[in-house]
Structure 1
Amino acid sequence: MRPRIVLLVVVLALIVGSAGAANAARERLPVGTDVDYQLGGPRAAPAHVGIVVRDRRAHPAAGRYNICYVNGFQTQPDERAFWKRHPRLLLRRGGQPVVDGAWNETLLDLRSPAKRTALSVIVGRWTQRCADDGFDAVEFDNLDSFTRSQGLLGRGQAVAYARLLVRAAHRAGLAAGQKNLVGFDGRTVGYDFAVAEECGRYRECGGYVAHYGRRVLAIEYRRRDFQHTCAVWGSNLAVVLRDRNLSPTGVRRWC
């Protein structure tokens, strides 16, 4: 072979090998165990809980499969100072931020490839920190933020950005979880599992199961919805009842 061809083959082999190593390091979400959803603050998990979800600034739980929560598509209310340094990456209409009023979170601006790339670099750093801290997976919240964008964002832009986030997770050796947008097959961009809040309340669990099988985590906030989800899906999915504030001392029940 010519030297340039040899060099190209070597480079390609290294790329493929690196991708293979990352995939090998990524552990799949376990099934047949319970989940605890601890975004409001860490607490001890009972022995039957094999999966724990915590905020990216918390430490993972020893001996469990740990999922790192990252708000990938909207801002966190306590991160205003950070986002003031990146004003052009926030979605605006008439100069005013577009806010998800239910959670007081400003939407990120996904309208251009350049902005999506810049945002993926920021969120990618958080994702790498999750991996460095010992988490096994990451869930990127608010894939459906475009539905609250006052018509400024489209589904295609959200999906294109999601693809960047999933790639960052896989490069870090983490499995990636789809959060929201029932009916969308997140496997097409590489998602490995789904986190479904109130899928029992809105009769959406089946929409996630259709794509992820048993690798769906069901979080309910009302007792009657929890009872329904347990009755229909409890034998196949990890289902937990939590209080809406997800407080360390709040409600916590399993099927």
Structure 2
Amino acid sequence: MRERARLVVAALSAALIACLGLALPAGAATLPDPVSCGGCWKPALNTSWQWQLKTVPSAPYLDVAMYDIDGFDATAADVSNLHSTKSGRKVVCYISAGTYENWRPDAGDFPGSVLGSDVDGWAGERWLDVRQYTGKLGTILGKRMDMCKAKGFDAIEFDNVDGYTNDPGFSISATDQLKFNTWLANEAHRRGLSAGLKNDIDQLKTLQPYFDWALNEECWANDECTTAQTGYGYDKYVAAGKAVFNVEYTLSTSQFCTKANAQNFNSMKKDLDLTAYRVPCRGV
């Protein structure tokens, strides 16, 4: 009875939206409501940061407001040290949500049924069948989120959440991807953790209500940063009060920093291995 009532409400809501002349984003009618998280960290639009996954950062730390580091490699003590050495600093837990990595300690937990094609250019990685998030895959990813919370992280960066635009070895649709990505954000919020959207540029509009901030790779190099370029860009996130973090690997800072600063993005140049190297577009 409760499920039937929910469907009736959903239908009425859709009808009301249609009467008002508003358009539903593709797939939105099948998505759950965003889980609110009043206590979750919402980064300021201008937030200095470091993204370092190759190694766990060690003292002396940069004077930045946010560190994004590998959730498995970092210990609770590492997270605590980053918190304690700068007041208000937040630490983000990087995990791959859309790929299997054969070097992770939980690699043996993944059933063969969820393992797809190799990820081009990344040895030891395979795409996951994200349609199976309601089963064993969801349990594994839930444990990863629990790990992030237990170690004291403030937020999660979910990587590889645009497998449907690649060749994952499964027939994953855009709607399948939306369902998975909204599930990730909602599960992070249920744990009191801020959720960051990584890339997935084609679905920025629909996913905006679910995620607290966005992280992008090479949108300036690919002409994908702004609404003028794509139809719905990261400038819309800034307008909604959601911070945008961006890295470029091949462009020189003179080719993107002026534009990035004008859009109020937190942009910097990094190397592809995400070592400690960084050249920020802003002062810190």
| TM-score higher than 0.5 | yes
Between the two proteins, the alignment pairs up a number of residues equal to 223
8 Å contact kept, 1:91–1:108: yes
- CA separation of 1:129 and 1:201: change in aligned 2, threshold 3 A: same
Q: Deviations over 1:190-230 (max 9, x none)?
A: 11111001111112222222235451100111242x33321
- Measure how far apart 1:145 and its partner are: 1.0
How far apart, CA to CA, are the structure 2 residues paired with 1:135 and 1:67?
6
How far apart, CA to CA, are the structure 1 residues paired with 2:113 and 2:208?
26
Question: Higher helix fraction: Structure 1 or Structure 2?
Answer: 1
- Measure how far apart 1:123 and its partner are: 1.2
8 Å contact kept, 1:33–1:51: yes
How far apart, CA to CA, are the structure 1 residues paired with 2:148 and 2:55?
16
Q: Deviations over 1:141-191 (max 9, x none)?
A: 111112222562111111111122111100111111111211312535611
For residue 46 of structure 1, what is the aligned residue in structure 2? 62
SS in 2 for 1:126: helix
Question: Aligned pair 1:126/2:153, yes or no?
Answer: no
For residue 198 of structure 2, what is the aligned residue in structure 1? 179
- CA separation of 1:132 and 1:152: change in aligned 2, threshold 3 A: same
- CA separation of 1:245 and 1:177: change in aligned 2, threshold 3 A: same
Question: Aligned pair 1:208/2:234, yes or no?
Answer: yes
Q: TM-score, normalised by structure 2?
A: 0.71
For residue 13 of structure 1, what is the aligned residue in structure 2? none
Spell out the pairing of 1:1-255 with structure 2 (5 A cutoff). Answer: 23-43=37-57, 44-47=60-63, 49-57=64-72, 58=74, 59-60=78-79, 61-62=82-83, 63=86, 64-79=89-104, 82-92=106-116, 98-104=117-123, 105-112=125-132, 115-148=133-166, 149-150=168-169, 152-184=171-203, 185-187=205-207, 190-206=210-226, 207-213=233-239, 215-224=243-252, 226-235=253-262, 236-248=264-276, 251-255=277-281
- Measure how far apart 1:42 and its partner are: 2.6
State the Cα RMSD in Å: 2.3
- CA separation of 1:161 and 1:89: change in aligned 2, threshold 3 A: farther
How far apart, CA to CA, are the structure 1 residues paired with 2:173 and 2:271?
32
How far apart, CA to CA, are the structure 2 residues paired with 1:192 and 1:240?
20
Q: TM-score, normalised by structure 1?
A: 0.78
8 Å contact kept, 1:162–1:189: no
Q: AA paired with 2:280?
A: W
- Measure how far apart 1:119 and its partner are: 1.7
- Measure how far apart 1:134 and its partner are: 1.7
How far apart, CA to CA, are the structure 1 residues paired with 2:93 and 2:138?
16
SS in 1 for 2:162: helix
5+ long unaligned stretches in structure 1: 1-20, 93-97
8 Å contact kept, 2:46–2:243: no
SS in 2 for 1:143: coil
8 Å contact kept, 1:178–1:195: yes
